[in-house]
Structure 1
Amino acid sequence: MRARLTLLVVAVATLTLLVFSIPLAILLRNAAAERVVSAAEQEAQVLSSIVATTPKSDMENSVEQLNATSPYLVTVFWPDGSVIGVEAPRSSAVDLAAQGHSLTAATADGREILFGVRMPDDGHAVVRAYVDDSQLTAGVGRSWLLLGAIALVLLGFGLLLASRLARVLLVPLADLAAVSNRLADGDLDARASAEGPPEIKRVGTALNALADRIRDLLEAERERERERVADLSHRLRTPLTVLRLEAEAITNPTERATVDEAVGEVERAVNAAIRDARKPGRGATECDAVAVVAERFEFWSALAEDTDRACSVSLAPGPLPVKVSAEDLAAAMDSLLANVFAHTPDGTAFEVRLWARSDGGAIVDIADEGPGLPDAAVFERGRSDGGSTGLGLDIARRAAAASGGQVVFGAGPGGKGALIRLELG
């Protein structure tokens, strides 16, 4: 934009200077020519008055002295055809002046100023003063150079003014753009400096007010979210306690251990939700995807064995760092694996695959051999067909988005079943 503004000023300044400079240059040239012609006319006119009153025999010395001192060449044509002064051709203009006229005529390389002088013996002499082209344009080149220098100075001043104007306008605009980008990236502490013209100051003030309002709304929403999560978490404490007591009443040690482990996992998740509600700041934002996926697969494989599901896992060599916390990745894996158990019949096999992305991060595939996804668009909106709230998919989607990835839905191997791909940055 700065280059375009400078180019616009240069174009306008150049056009303005041309509009004024060209006529002024022509005027200077014409004025110089008129000044020289006027001076030559004055000399020829003075000589004409002398010719009218002085005998021919006395004029030769006077004309020679005049040619020696004057910059203009003088010639006198007498009625009898004789000539004194500088040799000059008798042109048609001289013949016209010999009839008693006075005129200025152009020649091949200058101008001749002619005065017809009536002589006492009934005839007309012609006084001719000659001005060549070099005399007509004397000093014009210097005047044009001065005019060009003035034009360049004015053009330079215009460029300086354009640069100053661009700085006054564009620097605050660039600051506004930078602040807007920072706000768009989530930096709610970004503020614009109230500088520049009044209009830009008002825009900066409005942008700062908008940033303050956004931060206030987000803080209020976070506070309400923390209150809702905390309330829900505390409500779950009582049924968890009941489940813990019921688990202790189971006599079969193996079944009691399985139920205890499941209740413990739910309790840990509830405690983590309570901690997050009380302290919204995040912990570590990176984890080893291999370790987390392996740990969650091992947990769910026990339930798969109870429901006669064949399951397998394929893990890339670790460690494989991803930009998401271990808690969030574990919650995402739990939500996706829980969907397999919730939406496929017992005995349906599933597979978990983990490998590294070429540009950093990891990809986790959870594929099953169930009935598949009847409407992938419904799942992408965060709600399934089976009366589910879709919160599990939202958990996975948020974890992927926080790391710079996404969740992709598709068909399982060979077009059978469902495939949910968790891409992590």
Structure 2
Amino acid sequence: MRRRILTLVGAMMLLVLVAFAVPLALLVRTVAIDRAVGTATAEAQSLTPLVATADRAALNLSVAQVDATTVADVTLYLPDGGVLGTPAPRTPLVELGARGTSASTDVAGGREIVFAVRDSAGAGGAIRILVPDAELTRGVGRSWLLLAGLSLLLLAGGLLLADRLARSLVDATTDLAEVSDRLARGELAARADAAAPAELGIVAGALNGLAGRISELLREERENVADLAHRVRTPLTALRLDAESLRDPADAARISEGVDGVQRAVTGAIEHARRRGTDAATCDAAAVVSDRVAFWAVLAEDTEREVRVDVADGPLPVAIGKGDLEACVDALLGNVFAHTPDGTAFAVSLVARREGGARLVVADSGPGLPAGAAAAERGVSGGGSTGLGLDIARRTADQASGALTLDRPPEGGLRVVLDLGAPQRPES
């Protein structure tokens, strides 16, 4: 953008300068020629009355003085054929002057000017003046250099002003892009410079208003989630008390464990709502995946499932918070247990990506997805569930600048590939 503005301004200024400088340069040259011709003509015309009144000796002296004081060559052709002043051949213009016609023309070496004169007897003669080219263009080269220098100075000044204007526009645009990117990453405190030039300032103000509105909506959401979670805790407490009053200790323990699970989920929802937009979205994927696989391995052993685990050595930093990644891994492994029969083997692998981040693969040898199922879409599942497990994984991938992919391996089953981006390095 900056280069285009400079190119446009430079081209326009160049056209304007050429439109004014070229005619002005030609005018300077014309004025210099007219000045040189006028000066020489005035000096030569002073000899005209002397031809009719002065004798030959005085006339010769006068012509010599004029010839010596002017840069032009002055020659007087007398009616009797005599020549005074600078020797020069009789040109056609001189012959024309001897017949009573004054004229001028450009010749090799300068401009020839002829005046018709008559002696005391009325016989015709001529005064010839040859103004050299050097005199005709004296001072023109210097004037053209000054004009060219002034044009370049104006062009440079115009480009400098255009560059400052373009830089302010580009900086304002870049600032808007950076603020938008920071808002997209969850930095809701980011604000654009509303003092940006022209319409960019209006856009910056609108973006700041949008950021403020997003912050308000998120705050309201956190408050609503926290309020809902607080309301849920009361019946959960009642359920816990009912469970503890059961006579069968096994039933009491089982129900209490379920209540504890719901309590943990509620607490996690509150913590997630409170930290949204404020947590540093980074964690060690290797540590999180290893911890969650170890947790689910106990249930896998109880349901006679073979588990193959291949987790790369950490740390493997990814651009997602620890709690979010734990919820994602739990959702993917929970889907395996919920939608495959007991005894179905599954595998979990975590490797580093070449461009940074990590790739998590959860594969099972179960029935897989039904044909045409779009389980990655929110609320859609091919197994009769709500589909929110894979939706959690999809949102996790989006938050980590990654992608979620589902496919069917040749040996059958379902393979879920979750790419997680690397944390962005802080700007220096």
State the alpha-carbon separation in 2 of the partners of residues 280 and 73 from structure 1: 101
Partner-residue secondary structure (3-state), 1:144: helix
CA apart distance, 1:405: 3.8
Matched, 1:385 2:382: yes
* 1:408 alignment counterpart: 405
Matched, 1:373 2:369: yes
* 1:277 alignment counterpart: 270
Of residues 197-206 and 259-268 in structure 1, the stretch that sits farther from structure 2 once superposed is 259-268
* 2:191 alignment counterpart: 191
* 1:356 alignment counterpart: 351
Match of 2:307 among 302, 305, 312: 312
Contiguous gaps of at least 5 residues in structure 1:
251-255
* 1:394 alignment counterpart: 391
* 1:25 alignment counterpart: 25
Match of 2:283 among 282, 286, 299: 286
Do the aligned partners of residues 389 and 165 (structure 1) sit closer, same or farther apart at CA in structure 2, a change above 3 Å counting? same
Of residues 326-335 and 91-100 in structure 1, the stretch that sits farther from structure 2 once superposed is 326-335
Do the aligned partners of residues 22 and 5 (structure 1) sit closer, same or farther apart at CA in structure 2, a change above 3 Å counting? same
Q: Judge conservation of contact 1:290–1:317 (CA < 8 Å) in 2.
A: no
Partner-residue secondary structure (3-state), 2:350: strand
State the alpha-carbon separation in 2 of the partners of residues 270 and 316 from structure 1: 30
Q: Judge conservation of contact 1:314–1:353 (CA < 8 Å) in 2.
A: yes
* 1:47 alignment counterpart: 47
State the alpha-carbon separation in 2 of the partners of residues 183 and 58 from structure 1: 101
* 1:267 alignment counterpart: 260
Structure 1 segment 122-201 matched on structure 2, within 5 A: 122-201=122-201
State the alpha-carbon separation in 2 of the partners of residues 244 and 104 from structure 1: 129
Aligned AA (1:296): F
Deviations 1:265-287 (A, max 9, x none): 76145235225426723789535
Structural RMSD (CA): 3.0
CA apart distance, 1:125: 0.8
Match of 1:332 among 328, 332, 335: 328
State the alpha-carbon separation in 2 of the partners of residues 385 and 424 from structure 1: 25
Aligned AA (2:274): P
Do the aligned partners of residues 377 and 54 (structure 1) sit closer, same or farther apart at CA in structure 2, a change above 3 Å counting? farther
Aligned AA (1:407): L
CA apart distance, 1:321: 4.3
Q: Matched residues, percent identical? A: 40
Partner-residue secondary structure (3-state), 2:297: helix
Do the aligned partners of residues 420 and 246 (structure 1) sit closer, same or farther apart at CA in structure 2, a change above 3 Å counting? farther
Of residues 288-297 and 9-18 in structure 1, the stretch that sits farther from structure 2 once superposed is 288-297
Partner-residue secondary structure (3-state), 1:379: coil
State the alpha-carbon separation in 2 of the partners of residues 178 and 326 from structure 1: 26
How many equivalent pairs are there?
A: 412
* TM-score (normalised: structure 2): 0.84
* 2:112 alignment counterpart: 112
Matched, 1:342 2:341: no
State the alpha-carbon separation in 2 of the partners of residues 220 and 41 from structure 1: 96
Partner-residue secondary structure (3-state), 2:311: coil
Matched, 1:216 2:210: no
State the alpha-carbon separation in 1 of the partners of residues 113 and 386 from structure 2: 109
Do the aligned partners of residues 22 and 384 (structure 1) sit closer, same or farther apart at CA in structure 2, a change above 3 Å counting? same
Deviations 1:167-217 (A, max 9, x none): 444443333333222222221111123324454333322222121111111
* TM-score (normalised: structure 1): 0.85
